[in-house]
């Protein structure tokens, strides 16, 4: 994919988000040497947060698989953040 086609896709998704009124902050915490990555999303409107978080997890899983990694996913619905797989 060329840089221009990537930019076009980026602009397309950005327009969709703007049209839906979505905004917020993404906090990314990582340690490359330890292989650690954590993402915290705060999204408005609030009803978009769950969908966007799930979409990020799906994309991250797909990219990981594209690199030949085995993917194990844990979805936390009971508030025990950081639960182990």
Residue owning tokens 């703007």: 18
Q: What is the mean pLDDT of residues 36-58?
A: 90
> Phi and psi at residue 72, in whole multiples of 5°?
-125, 125
* Closest to 28 measured CA to CA, from 16, 17, 36: 36
φ/ψ of 65, rounded to 5, equals: -65, -35
Domain boundaries, the chain: 23-75
Beta bridge partners of 31: 36
CA distance 54 to 27: 16
- Provide, rounded to the nearest whole percent, the portion of the chain with pLDDT above 70: 89
Lookup result for tokens 């182990």: 84
Query: What pLDDT, in 10s, does the model give residues 5-35?
Result: 889 988 998 888 888 888 899 999 999 999 9
């Amino acid at each position: 994919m060329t840089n221009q086609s990537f930019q076009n896709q980026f602009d397309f998704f950005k327009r969709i988000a703007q049209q839906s009124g979505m905004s917020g902050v993404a906090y990314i915490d990582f340690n490359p040497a330890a292989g650690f990555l954590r993402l915290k999303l705060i999204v408005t409107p609030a009803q978009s947060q769950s969908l966007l978080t799930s979409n990020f997890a799906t994309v991250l899983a797909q990219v990981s698989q594209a690199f030949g990694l085995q993917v194990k996913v844990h979805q936390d619905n009971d508030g025990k953040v950081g639960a182990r797989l």
